[in-house]
Amino acid sequence: MKHEIIIAGFGGQGVLSMGKILAYSGLMEDKEVTWMPAYGPEQRGGTANVTVIVSDSRISSPVLSKYDVAIVLNQPSLDKFQPRVKPGGILIYDGNGIASPPTRTDIKVYRMDAMDKAAEMRNAKVFNMIVLGGLLKVCPVVSTEGLNMALFKTLPERYHNLIPLNMEAVEQGKQIIVEQ
Amino acid sequence: MAEREVRLMKGNEAIAHAAVRAGIDGYFGYPITPQSEVIETLAQLRPWETTGMVVLQAESEVASINMLYGGGGSGKRVMTSSSSPGVALMQEGISYMAGAEIPGLIVNVQRGGPGLGTIQPSQGDYFQSTRGGGNGDYNVIVLAPNSVQEMADFVDLGMNLAFKYRNPAMILSDGVIGQMMEKVVLPPMKPRRTEEEIIKECPWASTGHTKNREPNVITSLELRPELMEVKNKALQAKYEEIRNNEVRFETLHTDDAEYMFVAFGSAARVAEKAVELAREEGLRVGLFRPITLWPFPEKQLASLSKDKKGLLVVEMNAGQMVQDVRLAVDGSLPVAHFGRQGGIVPEPEEIVKALKEKLQ
């Protein structure tokens, strides 16, 4: 089993971190993983994207042009990566600020209002984990336990008290994702 | 066994961890994208407190390479890292090291050129790396990693080859391998050599005053041309020995292949994906990946090409390694090139398309 995933959005939105948590979760489950950022001079406000591949077997190219799953978190990312989802693949988008929603009918399109949910939870920082929760609901790339272990492994111990909040965000994400 | 632990890290970070573990005596470097994580990681690891390894941010790349000249000249295991424009600045120093037969390791995490160019991945420095790069007749041993694991493994390998042949060695990587994160098993910890071990293993080195031997002179200067020719012939004999002993390469699905991609470093990873796509379409394609770019695996490539219909050389440049491939196969089969430049990484699909258009 191999999942080729692109996560794209604004710089500073946590796109790279989201990819890292996903890659670490794959590592926890003894899978092959690659994490390849489209790095550039852009910082907050610009666009950022990262390709994450999680696989049971050897991974060839860390850089791809077609994806099984695209997670797009703003309009420019949606416009750029919608055509690059493989037929039968998955597109997940956050509804916030989207004027032209996805139009493809040969892929599964899911909407999740993760930004609104994060605001409701009064913590903008759990946005990433809400999105990852949505992903795991519709495409179990890794298990929720793997994700939990990855947080324990990668967060410094002084932040471990925040893990339950993050896992709660994952659960919220699973609930708010809706097929379009 | 904490040392066999599987870690997830960037290629640049792996270089830094591997340097500490390979018993390196000194790292000298100047930050430049996309390899600044090397010196950043070394600063975080603080090896001067554990192994005693020196980590120094030099005032420039020119200073870094001359620190390698001094450190290597005294028998120390010393290294630097930079990216394309910075490595261009080092070429004079590398030529002097080759002339004075000084070992040392240079890591180039390439970006798009020419000039300051871009900060995205490229393989535009193939010629510079494999043809010497500075003045005079010389070669640098060039290793081309295509994974984070090889970034880690080639530090010790490169340094050992540099000392075995008293010659500069280079890891020629690029922004993809430097910036991507992958699983890596870090090499075991190897202690730095003691002063006594250095004196014993490097009798040529400038290791300080001693009554028992003539002074060791480390220089590339010889004003008498007849002696300089002797020196050049000795260097050429050494390069011939390296050509005979140190060729490294990897093959994938070449046995039943009608066509082969030839690619190194990150382009070889993308070409491997292109092999998968081509085989899904029923095209029998394999991959030949040179690991040493100098010495180039010319005999091995020629031998594997005998029953093939054509080769497509895939590079992130305008066509550099393709020249070595053409020399190796000497017109025995069609050789085409597909390249992207300026910091663009080729897409697997366009490689398959190029194969069909150029060779079928």
Whether the CB of B116 is below 8 Å from some CB of chain A: the reply is no
| Nearest-10 crossing angle of helices A163-176, A127-138 | 50
* pLDDT score for A172: 97
Q: What is the CATH number of domain B2-195?
A: 3.40.50.970
Predicted pLDDT of residue B180: 98
Tokens found for residue A127: 């946005």
Cα–Cα–Cα angle for B222, B225, B227, nearest 5°?
65
Helix axes B37-45, B11-21, angle to 10 degrees: 40
Spatial contact of B192 and B52, defined as CB atoms under 8 Å apart: yes
CB proximity B277 to A under 8 Å:
no
Mutate to test the interface with B, among A29, A43, A60 (most CBs of B within 10 A): A60
Q: Which residue of A has its CA nearest to B148?
A: A34
Q: Which residues of chain B have pLDDT under 70?
A: 1-3
Closest partner residue to A33 (CB to CB) among B119, B176, B183 is: B183
Which tens digits make up the pLDDT trace of B225-266?
999 999 999 999 999 999 999 999 999 999 999 999 999 999
Strand partners, B78: B26
Instruction: Tell if the CB–CB gap between B179 and A23 is shorter than 8 Å.
Output: no
- The percent of residues above 70 in pLDDT, for chain A, comes to 97
Domain with A116, as residue range(s), is: 2-179
A27 contacts in B (CB within 8 Å)? 6, 8, 183
* Chain A neighbors of B181, CB-CB under 8 A: 20, 23, 33-36
Residue A44: the pLDDT is 59
Tokens for B318?
Answer: 């305008």
A41 pLDDT tier (thresholds 50, 70, 90): low
In chain A, how many domains are there? 1
Distance from CA of A28 to the nearest CA of B (A): 10
Residue B214 CA to residue A40 CA, distance in Å, equals 54
d(CA B129, CA B258) in angstroms, rounded, equals: 31
pTM of the full structure: 0.96
Closest partner residue to A23 (CB to CB) among B175, B181, B347 is B181
Give the CATH number for residue A58.
3.40.920.10
Chain B residues inside the 8 Å CB shell of A62 = 176, 180, 182, 266, 269
Alpha helices (runs of H) in chain A, residue ranges in sequence order? 15-28, 75-81, 114-120, 127-138, 144-154, 163-176
With an 8 Å Cβ cutoff, are B120 and A39 in contact? yes
Q: How far apart are CA A50 and CA B267, in angstroms?
A: 18
Residues of B in contact with A20 (CB under 8 A): 181
Distance from CA of A158 to the nearest CA of B (A): 19
Question: CATH number of the domain at B250-359, out of 3.40.50.920, 3.90.330.10, 3.40.47.10, 3.30.70.260?
Answer: 3.40.50.920
Separation between Cα atoms, residue A139 and residue B177, nearest integer Å: 28
Query: Could you read off the pLDDT of A100-152 as tens digits, one per residue?
Result: 999 999 999 999 999 999 999 999 899 999 999 999 999 999 999 999 999 99
Q: Determine the residue type at B40.
A: E
User: CA of B274 to nearest chain A CA: how many angstroms apart?
Assistant: 9
CB-defined contacts A:B, below 8 A: 65
Residue of B116, B151, B177, B182 to mutate when probing chain A, most A C-beta within 10 A: B182
Rounded Cα distance between B150 and B140, Å, is 19
pLDDT the model gives residue B1: 41
Q: What SS3 state is found at B41?
A: helix
Preferred mutation among A61, A65, A68, A81 to probe B, highest tally of B CBs within 10 A: A61
Position B210 scores a pLDDT of 75
- Closest partner CB to B34 (pick from A35, A39, A66): A39
